[in-house]
Amino acid sequence: MASATSQFPLFRRCGDSARSEGGQVMNRIDWDGGLAGTVHDRALARPNQIAMSFVDHSGGGDGRLEPLTYGDLDTRVRTLGNALRGTVAPGSRVAILCPTGPEYVTSFLACLYSGVIAVPLFMPEAFRHGDRLALAIADAQCEAAITVKPAGRTPEELGLDDSLRLIHADEFELDAAAPWKPLAPRDTTAYLQYTSGSTRHPAGVRVTHRNMEVAVDQLASRFGITPASSLVSWLPFFHDMGLVYAITLPLAIGMPAVHMTPFAFVQQPRRWLDLISRHGATHTVSPNFGLDLCVDRIPADRRAGLDLSRLRCLTNGSEPVRARSLERFTEAYAPYGFRAAAHTPAYGLAEATLMVAGNGPDREPLVAAFDRAELGAGRVRRTAADDPDGHTMVGCGAAAWQDVWIVDPATGQTLAPDRVGEIWVRGGNVCDGYWNDRERTGEVFGARLDGESGWLRTGDLGFFYGESLFITGRLKDLIIVDGRNHHPVDIESTVEDHSQAVRSGHVVAFGIDTGAEEQVVIVAEVRPDTTGELDAQHARLRRAVVSRHDVDVHDVVFVRRGTLPKTSSGKLRRGTCREMYRTGRLAARRV
């Protein structure tokens, strides 16, 4: 049976640290007071130690560094936390609508401290997802929202329901004498993590304090993170990877972290690498597209002066990890100290708090080619790297202290190691369901294997090769033509390989029912500098897909930059794109 099982390392008291299996020493986390309690303890012991720093690039240049000590952070948290207690009752839901900065971190910890359930969201009008914001607030039945004064003084100014009580995190006079009365029982819900699923039916995952504890240990164990490590991140805080990897993990371990905003990164990707170089960061994290931006948007003559030699982990997750992206990044930045072994691809999802599997540091990830036709038939057969019938994939490493099985989604039976199936997960990091959605909770979190409950159906397809987990795609996105399975990611990769006109990471393949059979449609954003006849590109891509995948293409649609719908965390929405195509809404964006 295809599985990966490892016993979660049990902590034993050992002074200020705890020792896990394998002898690795890690900072001990006192979760009796939750994450906010950990921050409070550090503030008492080392008030002047810098917890996090935030870089403000609004003035241009290298940006302005704003350090935040544990003492200052704790004072902010207690001040805002006590204000929350005077506004809403414990267990109430409170939305966080702050920019990526100290106010967001303070607001999140204040919610944990005061016993309310945090709902990490984003600034109104940010990321062009106002409808999603309003739906999530309504679904969570939020009684209040924490924001900052520049965003708006009233709910109406923010475009929100006027019954929502606003609390401005930046208007309180800090009170160093504010009392400390933590409310963080391990098995209570700490926050609701809204996933990037349907915009019409938002799903808030209930994450407990215990889930957070387990997730931190998994990340620290797999990526070798200690208080001596250091992190640089540009991730948005409302996304699960930003919230857990960039906020929770550093504060829990005592690792210093430097943050910049996603906008500052996208505006000038070199800023991210500059911060890694300047601060000697050992760890950083980014979705795959971030690596592509650093190659495409930073010319070779502007890379001088970088020093990436201390970087042990560039954790790559949240979207498909592409072998070509890893190769290009390594080729571009090896002259500046970057090592291929620092690539640490990972797989996870909000329903598992964050990580399910990850490649550890100091060893290159497994990149292997598998027979494309065999994968389509649900079988795994490795082939030569240069085999034209092979599909090159990047392994996401071994399971991270949890049980992971490959299961037939139709029968619920475990599969042999050489079969593709749905990924099922069980462990202390797996959450217990969705907020206020019993039916969906039962479908996703209520799976049973061999009579045992507690299994999470991820909805993702994959397989194990050796110890490494490979992801082939989403079960719901699978394209079935003439009884054969075609994974959209594979077809999208073919399109990118055969056209210089399309934007990397901005191709969507999906199936449509023509009435007689399922057929493939490809929608791709065109690079702004594209010249030449696009009709020739259409023909070239059709031939490439037929040759590689033995499937006809119903339509190839080239669209302008910014057309493809995305989630608030940057993932492409295949289902939404399919609906836009079906209803003719892509016509006006064709090129």
User: What's residue 502's pLDDT?
Assistant: 86
- pLDDT, residue 178, reads 73
Instruction: Check whether residue 413 and residue 543 sit in a common domain.
Output: no
Q: Could you tell me if 93 and 218 lie in one domain?
A: yes
Task: Identify the pLDDT of residue 24.
Answer: 39
Per-residue confidence (pLDDT) for residue 319, from 0 to 100 = 84
Is 362 within the bounds of a domain? no
Give pLDDT, residue 566.
80
Cα–Cα distance, 23 to 515 (Å, whole number): 60
What's the pLDDT at 196?
A: 64
| Residues 404 and 548 reside in one and the same domain | no
Which of 415, 450, 474 corresponds to the end of one domain?
A: 474
535 and 457, same structural domain? no
Q: 274 lies in a domain?
A: no
Output the CA–CA distances (angstroms, integers) from residue 318 to 288, 339, 554, 569, in the order listed. Answer: 8, 22, 30, 8
Helix 209-223 with 34-45: angle, nearest 10 deg? 60
Contact indicator for 319, 347 with CB cutoff of 8 Å: no
What's the rounded Cα separation, in Å, for the pair 426 and 455? 5
Does residue 184 lie in a domain region? yes
516 & 419 share domain: no
pLDDT of res. 480: 73
Residues of the chain with pLDDT under 50: 1-28, 127, 199
**Final residue before a domain boundary, out of 222, 246, 268:** 268
In this structure, the answer to whether residues 509 and 396 fall within a common structural domain is no
Q: Are residues 384 and 434 in the same domain?
A: yes
> What order of strands is seen across the sheet that includes strand 231-233?
64-69, 50-56, 257-259, 231-233, 283-286, 313-316, 343-348, 355-358, 398-399
* Residue 230 and residue 95 share a domain: yes
pLDDT of residue 151: 61
Q: Give pLDDT, residue 58.
A: 86
Query: Of 268, 288, 317, at which residue does a domain stop?
Result: 268
Say which CATH number the domain at 534 has: 3.30.300.30
Angle, helices 323-333 vs 288-296, to 10°: value is 40
Asked if residue 178 is part of any domain, the answer here is: yes
| Amino acid identity, position 183 | L
For residue 35, what are the domain limits?
Answer: 3-268
Give the pLDDT of residue 7.
32
Sort residue 515 into left (φ over 0), alpha (ψ -120 to 50) or beta: left
Q: 406 phi and psi, to 5 degrees?
A: -100, 125
Kindly state whether residue 317 falls inside one of the protein's structural domains: no
Residues whose CB is less than 8 angstroms from the CB of residue 279 and which lie 6 or more positions away in sequence, other chains included:
230, 232, 258
- At residue 531, the pLDDT reads 61
Question: What is the domain-level CATH number for residue 164?
Answer: 3.40.50.12780
Whether 112 and 8 map to the same domain: the answer is: yes
- Residue 573 tokens read as 């929405």
Shared-domain flag, residues 251 and 165: yes
Residues 442 and 583 in one domain: no
- Residue 232 has φ and ψ, to the nearest 5°, of -125, 135
> At CA 81, angle to CA 433 and CA 254, rounded to 5?
75
CATH number (domain holding residue 390): 2.30.38.10
Q: In 3-state terms, the chain is what percent helix, strand and coil (to 5)?
A: 35, 30, 40
pLDDT of residue 153: 65
Q: What are phi and psi of 85, to 5 degrees?
A: -60, -30
What pLDDT score was predicted for residue 27? 41
* 486 and 460 within one domain: no
| Total domains, the chain | 3
